[in-house]
Structure 1
Amino acid sequence: MNTTLRNESDVSAFLSYRYLPGKLELSERVVKAAHSDPTRGSRVELIERGADALRKTISTIVAECSNDVRHVVPLSGGLDSRNILAAILDNVPRERILGITFGIPGTFDWELGARVARAAGVDHRHIDVRPGEFDWSRERLISSAEDCGWPTKLFRNMDSLKGGFEQHELTENCVYWHGFLGGVVSGGRLPDTESETWERAQNVFVGDNYYFPDLAAPGYDPKEHVADEPALPRDVLNYDEQLDIGLRQRYYIGPDLFGRDEMAMPFHREPFLSFMLNLPREYRVDDPIYPEIGERVAPELYQVPTENTWGLSPDAPKTRVRMRIIRDMIETRVLSVLGWPRPSKHASHFDWNRELRRSDPLQELVEPALVSLKRRNIVPWLSPTEMYREHRAGKGDHGGHIQMLTSLEMIVQASEP
């Protein structure tokens, strides 16, 4: 069994959090940035300085790359990817840039990622992650678990990235740009009210991250895997951010990224990291300036609709966005009643509930994995095979649970001789 899943408590944490929270760990870059001076100035000044900081950060990373490398930029319906792309365009010829979008047809990411690429004038490829379209094989998942080296949910973007690189012959001389920490430094993951005590921050963290409590063993305390004390004083880095960066980002997102020379993570580099982490809270939470920083860097790409505005332009009035949301909800309900279900426009992955009932390749992967997991008796408080039968029979939607149990079995298999 994987040595990082040492006991029932660790297995419970992995299944319920979707990753195993380890020791609270902040990177040297984050610690240094947190100790930097406060970022001060008027709103207008800060927007301009933020845009300059992002441009300088990305130009520094580009200068570290060889002149003939190909820059692969993931493009979605969000803002981070278009900010990165625009700053790269200031430093790299368009013919050496490739936009790539993971997902499924009919979603905002699928449609808007391609539109961003067209607006930027760069080549673009889609990677369809639906079973049958993508090779979700046992061998690929075990390889991903081995490469990752830490228990996290499988069937994720890094698996898609590897498959896409192979499909499009991009396995050599490429640098892959990743938005790691983008949502954090922008302030998008901060709670509305800052936690004044470590206990309060722990409770907020559990509330946000304890995703599948019914997969944990009876009596499991989710705070058991949340650090007992902070790594830094609150006046250096707020408690909520310490837990998000030091646990969720480190062990859920980070294991796929760190130690890979081909990865470029501009939001984890200077000077942008220090600039954003030390902004006054009002400019990160109450009235964030990050979108305006991005618009200053990428004005032409900000004309492309976004996921957050439901396919409308970023400056669309809130009343219009609400009307679009209501319209889409009605359309989705009607199509479902007619027997033509469609994926959520915000989906970034295939629908596990649906595909487990209709996809032969996914069933052929999952069923033997769950049989093997039951035989190991690692999760005696659960019945993986019965859960699968109930799901197939339409007696419950257990897709997310089955994904985690299948991931657990693949991780265990990866640790075997």
Structure 2
Amino acid sequence: MKNFLTLQSVETVLGHLRALPVLPAETVPLTDALGRRLAEALHAPADLPGFDRSTVDGFAVRARDVFGAQEGSPALLECVGDCPMGAVPDISLQPGQCARILTGGMLPEGADCVVMVEYSRPAGGNMVELTRTQAPGDHVVMRDEDAAAGDCIIPAGRKLRPQEIGLLASFGQKDVTVRRAPRVAIISTGDEVVPIGSEPRPGQVRDVNSYSLAALCRSAGAEPTLAGLVRDDAEALRRTVLAALDEADVVVVSGGSSAGMRDHTVDVFTSVPGSELLTHGVAISPGKPFILARSGGKCLMGLPGHVSSALVCARAFLVLLLEHLQGSAGDELVPSLTARLTRAVASAQGRRDYIRVKLVPAGAAALEAAWLPQGLDCSDVDWLAQPLMKPSGVVSGLVEADGLVICAENREGLTAGERVRVELLA
């Protein structure tokens, strides 16, 4: 138990998580691929769109034929026909000729740009006056502008959003190879914790963590299962953990992660055959009594029982683990904004603090608020970050929070009025 109650850095813990093997691949219909992560890079099988197409309604022309055209000196061209939608035009433009075209239509042979219909007027018979100079490629999507054959269009590990789904559909990709969704078993512990359908007696609380953690897992692309509510009984917890390991890739235990007499999680994890304790304690707040172990290719994670501590800790480690198991490269942007802190926050050097904040628009009304330090200059930001100092066991402390401000390990706190980066909570 060499890692027992030895505080590790956040980066050390993340290194343990990244060392776990990613999950195997599976093929799913494109209609079911939203939010899944690609198991392998996808390359364009052909040029896209595969033909030069107009982006406007107007006239397909040769750029040289409208060079210098303007309102007082239009180019006079012969319109030799229309470009049909969804078909190859049977027109080949010669010098001095043009063809009507609609948005999305294929350019005829010889054309290299399009003049918008707003810059045209009839000149009798088949003749048209065009009053706008265009360069080659104007108002045209070239045949390989979306993608050229062989291009990597979506890298491995990318989480598929609606726009990636659309790109795959444009190539006729009916099925997609993605990483299997992680299966997460969530276990809550504590003599004081009762099912949400029960009426708590004095000293009892409902099981909040099972449901909030399951929602967090689902938002990260995992398939959570509520594996049980266990009293502070080591043997009962061990049986529940072993049963969960038979089905799950990750087993998360909420509560019992510290070193008290009724904290059994670390002993249960180390009793699992073939398990290895990687972490018991991490230099963060909230969430210091965090536990991480592995058993083969599976992960065992112990979170604090306090609601805010459990969710902040899960956001810092569980979400990143689930993304890694699905093949994420770990280089995705976290939605954030810059704000000014409305009050000072103390922190211990050597510890990473996750500070819950409420965002307030930095308008004139906000600047008159009594809780703002006098003379605070907010002219360079749109938002103020108001620290929420509620205890970690208070559910509303996270409900009211719009984001988290991270105080790094090399700081002893943040000052009032300091510019800070706020990681937005979804």
Q: Please classify the TM superposition score into its range, dividing by the shorter chain length.
A: under 0.3
Q: Give the structure with the larger helix fraction.
A: 1
User: Who wins on radius of gyration, i.e. which is larger?
Assistant: 2
Select the structure that is richer in strand: 2
TM-score, L = length of structure 1: 0.25
Higher relative contact order (CA 8 A, sep 6+): 1
